């Protein structure tokens, strides 16, 4: 279909595709709000003809609002409803509307499109509206709409609604297999047709596995274009090149210790925030589609959410894999033994960042609002990550445990300095920050003492478990927010 960042169907093609999506569910009644808007005359005629054929062959009712139809399209509709000031001015056979106007003393000019004449008459003359409303009130038919499976659609504007829900049909005096038109009041746009649905218990059209597998395939195809965009791939390759050049083969000494920590922190931060910002924009862009499909009961929310989680998992791990494979060895980090653990930690870091981004995107649901919130939290997460601030005030020290970057950075530091090569002392020794270097005949600092110096006292698995817990909590929060606070209208 296309979207904000992805080219897709044209306006005409998108209009027809949205109608086709509704037909998949084989509904008893089809409501179309101005389906011909933006279409040329030929396409409009073709669309209405197809709908009329569909209604006749399938025994369905099609109800549409349409503005300024040609006379050819106007008379393709079987029934017509006219609204003025929120009240029914006419409801009956389209072929009889001219005679109805004449019966109340309003003559339709010869060779004049009846649709144009009616809309002009209703919008310009109070006398015409009064006559038509009086004639309409004298008719005995009842205007109501009902929906299969106990769901009722209620029309605003003073139309009487039958409270008894039945299997079957909408609008008394309206036969299945026909096409109906509602010409809305041009003078009062606020009185346009409003449709409200009442949720009702119904069975899902397919099983959970079918829903999950199909949604996974669809989400994978959509996400692949977004996540593996050529521009993003080039961007990350360039960043990888810069990082490799800046930190190229860092000597393992005290003088470059902060540089080594900076390289580790950058890897953790970069692959936390790239998936975070991608996920932040993901849900807001899909919001309208999700709400539409959920309100139509196409699938379970759990199937959609699990498909979203699993289908993007492989995609978000491809780029950090390439990045770490290159940067790890060019920078000269802690050898082969820690390499695979570093790669796995970056994977978990990326998934945690995506979890946080998904939650923000779901909670905000507007791209500009979500981006503002995510940037604010990004700054806070970086400050509390453990590189820029080591001496946080006591009354704020607890906040570092709310930063998932704190856990990913510290776990990578543990991998880098646990059982790693010793770090050469700064010369002259009296300038060293480590007391061991000031001892006689000591020129190297054991890696474990680096961790102790920077107060990294947890084990690797403690940091990882905290990071996994963070991931689980925010994915669960995203699901419950989507289920209970972001229900479709």
Q: What is the model's pLDDT at position 192?
A: 37
Q: What is the pLDDT of residue 38?
A: 77
Q: What pLDDT digit, counting tens, does each position of 18-52 carry?
A: 777 777 777 888 888 888 877 788 888 888 888 88
What's residue 181's pLDDT? Answer: 53
Mind listing the pLDDT tens digit for each residue in 202-215?
Answer: 567 788 999 999 99
pLDDT reported for residue 178: 54
State how far the Cα of 13 lies from the Cα of 16, in Å rounded to an integer.
5
Residue (of 178, 170, 225, 177) closest to 195 by Cα position: 170
Give 113's DSSP letter: -
What span, in angstroms and rounded, lies between the C-alpha atoms of 211 and 201?
18
Closest Cα partner for 181 from 266, 83, 37? Answer: 83
Phi, psi of 114 (to 5 degrees): -55, -35
**Residue stretches of the chain with pLDDT short of 50:** 140-174, 182-201
Tokens of 132: 């038509």
Q: What's residue 4's pLDDT?
A: 61
**H-only helix segments in 228-312:** 230-246, 257-295, 301-311
Domains of the chain: 11-191 (3.40.50), 208-485 (no CATH)
Q: What is the pLDDT of residue 154?
A: 41
What local confidence, expressed as pLDDT, does residue 187 receive?
Answer: 36
Cα 356 to Cα 316: distance, rounded to the nearest angstrom: 14
Gap between the Cα atoms of 466 and 479, Å rounded: 20
Residue 151's pLDDT is 41
């Amino acid at each position: 279909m296309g979207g904000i960042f992805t080219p897709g169907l044209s306006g005409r093609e998108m209009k027809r595709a949205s109608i086709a999506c509704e037909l998949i569910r084989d509904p008893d009644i089809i409501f179309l709000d101005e389906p011909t808007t933006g279409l040329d005359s030929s396409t409009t005629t073709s669309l209405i003809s197809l709908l009329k054929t569909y209604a006749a062959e399938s025994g369905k009712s099609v109800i549409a609002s349409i503005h300024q139809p040609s006379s050819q399209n106007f008379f393709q509709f079987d029934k017509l409803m006219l609204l003025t000031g929120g009240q029914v001015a006419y409801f009956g056979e389209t072929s009889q509307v001219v005679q109805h106007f004449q019966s109340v003393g309003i003559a339709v000019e010869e060779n004049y499109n009846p649709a144009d004449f009616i809309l002009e008459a209703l919008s310009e003359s109070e006398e015409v509206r009064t006559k038509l409303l009086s004639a309409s009130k004298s008719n005995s038919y009842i205007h109501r709409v009902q929906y299969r499976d106990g769901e009722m659609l209620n029309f605003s504007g003073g139309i009487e609604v039958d409270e008894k829900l039945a299997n079957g049909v909408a609008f008394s005096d309206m036969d299945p297999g026909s096409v109906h038109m509602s010409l809305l009041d041009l003078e009062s746009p606020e009185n346009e047709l409003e449709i409200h649905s009442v949720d009702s218990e119904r069975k899902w059209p397919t099983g959970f596995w079918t829903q999950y597998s199909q949604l996974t395939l669809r989400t994978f195809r959509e996400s692949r274009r977004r996540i593996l965009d050529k521009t993003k791939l080039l961007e990350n390759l360039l960043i990888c090149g810069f990082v490799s050049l800046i930190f190229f083969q860092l000597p393992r000494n005290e003088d470059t210790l902060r540089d080594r920590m900076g390289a580790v922190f950058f890897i953790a931060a970069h692959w936390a925030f790239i998936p975070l910002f991608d996920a932040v924009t993901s849900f807001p862009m899909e919001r309208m589609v999700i709400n539409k499909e959920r309100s139509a009961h196409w699938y379970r929310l759990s199937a959609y959410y699990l498909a979203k989680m699993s289908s993007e998992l492989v995609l978000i791990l491809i780029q950090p894999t390439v990045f770490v494979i290159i940067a790890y060895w060019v920078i000269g980090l802690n050898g082969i033994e820690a390499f695979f653990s570093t790669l796995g930690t970056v994977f978990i870091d990326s998934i945690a960042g995506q979890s946080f981004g998904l939650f923000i995107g779901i909670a905000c649901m507007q791209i500009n609002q979500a981006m503002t919130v995510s940037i604010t939290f990004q700054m806070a997460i970086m400050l509390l990550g453990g590189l820029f601030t080591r001496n946080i005030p006591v009354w704020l020290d607890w906040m570092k445990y709310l930063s998932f970057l704190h856990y990913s950075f510290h776990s990578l530091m543990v991998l880098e300095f646990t059982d790693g090569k010793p770090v050469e002392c700064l010369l002259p020794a009296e300038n060293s920050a480590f007391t061991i270097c000031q001892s006689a005949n000591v020129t190297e600092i054991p890696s474990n003492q680096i961790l102790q110096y920077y107060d990294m006292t947890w084990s690797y698995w403690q940091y990882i478990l905290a990071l996994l817990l963070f991931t689980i909590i925010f994915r669960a929060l995203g699901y419950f927010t989507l289920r209970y606070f972001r229900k479709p209208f």
